[in-house]
């Protein structure tokens, strides 16, 4: 992506320290970052560190004659390609939702004619508060893009939603919002997460997939400018900002959602789909009735990947996954042929590898040309590498 100008408003939260990393990463990718520090923000990070990292003057004061002489707040709000608020505190979100303009940050958020992306950060109770949720809804309705927050342990020691999204996730959301990557104009379908197959209304059969790899892939594709339809089973991680998200439970629902997504340029089938469902799931909770143990009979689920590969609307590029616990390459190579996909991302998911549910992945990419072993790396890095390969292939280069 060619370098863009991002106006970064840093609010007053402990996550402001992560905004320093965000500035660094945006600059590494060739973007210019013009920082605006709120009064509360300057309690957490100093103007000097922000300015040093951005290589720019830091704007802080609405009524500064110096700042206004250099670049007035109206101009400042419009000279950027995108306005980003990170961290966005509960207070800043409330101001935005209600149209307050009583300091530099809130004034230029009112004055801008550019898209605004907000990365909330606050204590879980503040995030869950009805007022914040109301403001969030208003911001969404106003067309403001929201990235995060993530779930995790916070600086205050509590656990839950409220932690600001990681800098690379924000970078992904920023680049998706700028929508100017090599995948601009391409529509890509990604399946992700496990499926849950009901036994009765309260019990189900599942698997250990967290959805982390599929989510990272969707995010990386969005960062390269693709339109992404993200069909996800019940995952542990939040779906990517900016994707068209379709949440499903069962394999049958996933197939229906995939078919409803319409023609796409590529499909990445990262979901860990249950191979079997309970043949006649009970409508009522199965009770211990003293007549012995229940016996479950299984029926085979549709193979979504194989169905798509055999369909009339087969995408130009189909990428499957092969989660194996032994003879990884041999099984995955056979699976590529059997299912009819172009590429298979194969990995060893034996418990000892820590891959299922973990942060890293160790994959081999299998194409018509053979097997390519990638070094073990973070799931985000695998996703970025795969997204770039997709961009290359869809751009007309050989390799499909
Ligand atoms: N897949 C699918 N629908 C299914 C089963 C699997 O779309 N019902 C897709 C997965 O998303 C993945 C690929 O097929 O991209 C391979 O999944 P995997 O579970 O490794 O293969 P299986 O078909 O289950 O084969 P096996 O049981 O022999 O390992």
Tens of pLDDT along 128-159?
Answer: 999 999 999 888 777 788 888 988 887 778 88
Query: Are residues 174 and 199 part of one domain?
Result: no
Residue 269 has a pLDDT of: 98
Encode pLDDT of 235-248 as tens digits.
998 888 778 899 99
**Is residue 281 in a domain?**
yes
Q: Give me ligand 1 centre to Cα 226, in Å.
A: 25
Q: What is the mean pLDDT of residues 33-60?
A: 95
Residue 213 has a pLDDT of: 94
On the question of pLDDT at 317 being above 70, the answer is: yes
Query: Are residues 322 and 291 part of one domain?
Result: yes
Residue 396 has a pLDDT of: 45
Q: What is the mean pLDDT of residues 270-275?
A: 98
Domain's final residue, options 123, 149, 178: 178
Q: What is the mean pLDDT of residues 177-184?
A: 80
d(CA 303, CA 275): 8
Query: Are residues 23 and 109 part of one domain?
Result: yes
Domain's final residue, options 142, 160, 178: 178
**Is residue 399 in a domain?**
no
- CA nearest neighbour of 145 among 241, 286, 262: 241
Residue 397 has a pLDDT of: 38
CB 315 within 8 A of CB 342: no
Does ligand 1 have an atom closer than 6 angstroms to the CB of 303? yes
Ligand 1 pocket test, pick from 251, 275, 328, 348 with the greatest ligand atom count within 8 Å of Cβ, gives: 275
Domain count, the chain: 2
Does ligand 1 have an atom closer than 6 angstroms to the CB of 180? no
Confidence of residue 65 (pLDDT cuts 50, 70, 90): low
Residue 321 has a pLDDT of: 97
For residue 301, which atom of ligand 1 is closest to its CA? 8
Q: Give me ligand 1 centre to Cα 303, in Å.
A: 7
Mean of pLDDT over the chain: 91
CB atoms within 10 A of CB 368: 10
- Structural domain span for residue 267: 187-393
Residue 81 has a pLDDT of: 93
CATH number of the structural domain spanning residue 241: 3.40.50.10300
**Is residue 400 in a domain?**
no
Query: Are residues 202 and 164 part of one domain?
Result: no
Query: Are residues 349 and 253 part of one domain?
Result: yes
Please state, in angstroms and as integers, the Cα–Cα distance from residue 331 to each residue in 15, 154, 274, 321, 336, following that order. 45, 42, 18, 11, 9
**Is residue 312 in a domain?**
yes
% of the chain at pLDDT higher than 90 = 71
Does ligand 1 have an atom closer than 6 angstroms to the CB of 320? yes
Query: Are residues 233 and 118 part of one domain?
Result: no
Residue 160 has a pLDDT of: 83
Query: Are residues 266 and 218 part of one domain?
Result: yes
CATH number of the structural domain spanning residue 158: 3.40.50.1950
**Is residue 207 in a domain?**
yes
Query: Are residues 199 and 79 part of one domain?
Result: no
Encode pLDDT of 281-314 as tens digits.
999 999 998 888 999 999 999 999 999 999 999 9
Encode pLDDT of 66-107 as tens digits.
666 666 778 888 889 999 999 999 999 999 999 999 999 999
Query: Are residues 76 and 48 part of one domain?
Result: yes
Q: Name the maximum alpha-carbon separation found in the chain.
A: 85
Residue 1 has a pLDDT of: 59
On the question of pLDDT at 398 being above 50, the answer is: no
Encode pLDDT of 183-230 as tens digits.
988 999 999 999 999 999 999 999 999 999 999 999 889 878 899 999
Highest mean pLDDT among 57-61, 261-265, 339-343, 381-385: 339-343
**Is residue 398 in a domain?**
no
Encode pLDDT of 4-24 as tens digits.
999 999 999 999 999 999 999
Query: Are residues 366 and 267 part of one domain?
Result: yes
Residue 354 has a pLDDT of: 87
Domain's final residue, options 178, 197, 214: 178
Query: Are residues 230 and 87 part of one domain?
Result: no
Query: Are residues 342 and 212 part of one domain?
Result: yes
């Amino acid at each position: 992506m060619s370098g863009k100008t991002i106006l970064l408003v840093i609010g007053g939260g402990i996550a402001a320290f992560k905004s320093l990393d965000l500035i660094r990463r945006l600059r590494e990718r060739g973007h210019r970052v013009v920082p605006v520090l709120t009064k509360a923000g300057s309690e957490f990070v100093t103007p000097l560190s922000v300015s040093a990292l951005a290589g720019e003057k830091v704007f802080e004061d609405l009524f500064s004659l110096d700042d206004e002489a250099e670049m007035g707040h109206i101009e400042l709000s419009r000279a950027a390609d995108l306005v980003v608020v990170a961290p966005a505190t509960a207070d800043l979100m409330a101001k935005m939702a209600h149209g307050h303009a009583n300091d530099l940050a809130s004034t230029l958020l009112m004055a801008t004619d550019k898209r605004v992306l907000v990365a909330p950060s606050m204590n879980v109770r503040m995030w869950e508060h009805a007022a914040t949720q109301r403001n969030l809804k208003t911001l969404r309705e106003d067309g403001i893009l929201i990235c995060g927050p993530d779930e995790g342990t916070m600086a205050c020691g509590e656990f839950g939603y409220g932690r600001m999204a990681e800098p690379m996730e924000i970078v992904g959301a920023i680049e998706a919002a700028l929508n100017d990557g090599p995948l601009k104009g391409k529509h890509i379908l990604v399946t992700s997460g496990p499926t849950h197959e009901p036994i009765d209304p309260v019990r189900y059969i599942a698997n250990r997939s967290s959805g982390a790899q599929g989510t990272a892939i969707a995010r990386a594709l969005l960062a390269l400018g693709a339109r992404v339809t993200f069909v996800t089973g019940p995952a542990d991680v939040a779906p990517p900002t900016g994707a068209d998200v379709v949440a499903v439970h069962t394999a049958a629902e996933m197939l229906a959602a995939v078919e409803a997504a319409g023609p796409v340029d590529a499909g990445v089938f990262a979901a860990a789909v249950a191979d079997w469902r309970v043949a006649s799931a009970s409508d009522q909770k199965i009770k211990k009735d003293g007549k012995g143990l229940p016996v479950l009979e299984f029926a085979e689920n549709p193979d979504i990947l194989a169905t798509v590969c055999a369909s009339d609307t087969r995408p130009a590029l189909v990428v499957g996954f092969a989660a194996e616990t032994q003879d990884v390459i041999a099984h995955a190579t056979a699976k590529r042929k059997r299912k009819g996909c172009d590429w298979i991302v194969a990995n060893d998911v034996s418990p000892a590898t820590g891959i299922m549910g973990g942060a890293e992945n160790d994959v081999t990419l299998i194409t018509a040309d053979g097997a390519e072993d990638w070094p073990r790396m973070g799931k985000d890095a695998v996703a970025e590498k795969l997204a770039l390969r997709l961009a290359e292939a869809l751009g007309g280069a050989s390799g499909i």
